[in-house]
Amino acid sequence: MSSFKKGRRPTMICCKCLETLIHCADGYETVALNQEVTLAKKIQLKPPILLESLLDVDRIPVCKRRGPLKILRRLTVIVDDASLLHALSSPSVEGYDLLAVRPTNEKTFQIACSTLSVDIVSVDLSERVPFSFKRAQIGQAIERGLCFEVCYSPAIRDSTARRNTLANAMELIKIAKGKRIIVSSQAEKAFDLRAPADVTNLCNLFGVPSPLCKATISSSCRAALLHAATRKKTAKGVVSSTCVPIQNLKADRGTVETKQLLDVQKAGKNRKRHGIYLIDTETELPASKRTSELLDAESRLQKAGKKRKRHGIYLIDTETELPASKRTSELLDDESRLQKEEEAWNLS
């Protein structure tokens, strides 16, 4: 992951470094180009830089199995003052595929975990963290679907940063229990980039449980992308809407109704599994659940015959034309048996 600070346009040297990084990202299906911005009063967030101005799209490496390398755009906002967080709701932020926040104090970290609409919480673990990680805050962020990021390239460059990264990462991963942890490179040169197998070994060094080491570079990253798509395309992560032309809607209305009617008619024995019940012959509409149960009971009583005891169904009272109780059915059985015995006695 390469970083462009303060939203400035990258130079030709940065573009060459990007091309080298992307060609060295062997073994990865998706990479994200990170743009860092320190939030201040006079700084406004800008839309992402076009990928064509950074790279030669025709020279992106292509894998035979996975196809071309997918390149995403990410924005990381460094927050010092909590009163400036309203800038994250600007329309220019919607152009980024991922949105991350880097809090620098306890107040901004608490807001990021509880209410802030972001995808990744990235704390600078290469330096001394000025606050302590609390289990309640991290648990709340995990419940909201946020991910925590651990960057390993600062630990490669400097011994002091390595010591701080190991201590802070072990504390964060211990509280989060290895869940929703993303390990990224934050690489600025090709020397800072490592293969997926090396990253999983680093996760063991950071204290990630062995079954979750692979998830830090696979399923947790996909969860962050899914959270980003849900954040941008749905209302509060529940309802999504798509624009449909009115002419197409009118043209397809009859087709939809016909399809529903055919589905109801073909439901048969699987109607309970699909939530569809019998059709009322008077209204020619799906009957309610209670009416369907009564119709089922009536047809079952007609076909029960000698198997009525096995199905829990008894004789029908001729006066009320309703299923008789168990006691009444026993009396009717006794009566019919006595009548048959009397007939047999008279014949003899």
Q: How far is the C-alpha of 205 from the C-alpha of 61, rounded, in Å?
A: 31
DSSP assignment of 136-184: HHHHHHHHTT-EEEEE-HHHHH-HHHHHHHHHHHHHHHHHHTTTTEEEE
- 300: helix, coil or strand? helix
- Answer positive or negative: Cα dihedral of 147, 153, 158, 162: positive
- For the whole prediction, is pTM greater than 0.75? no
Q: How far is the C-alpha of 282 from the C-alpha of 293, rounded, in Å?
A: 17
Cβ neighbours of 15 (radius 10 Å): 14
Q: How far is CA 33 from CA 71, 165, 345, in A?
A: 7, 22, 100
Would the pLDDT of 6 be above 50? no
User: What's the confidence (pLDDT) of residue 48?
Assistant: 83
Alpha-carbon radius of gyration of the chain: 33
Mean pLDDT of 260-265: 50
Q: How far is CA 45 from CA 33, 73, 118, 263, in A?
A: 16, 14, 15, 51
**Percent of all residues in the chain with a pLDDT value above 70, rounded to a whole number:** 61
Mean pLDDT of 91-118: 91
The model's confidence at residue 70, banded by pLDDT at 50, 70 and 90, is confident
- Answer positive or negative: Cα dihedral of 12, 14, 19, 24: positive
- 70: helix, coil or strand? strand
Whole-number average pLDDT of the chain: 75
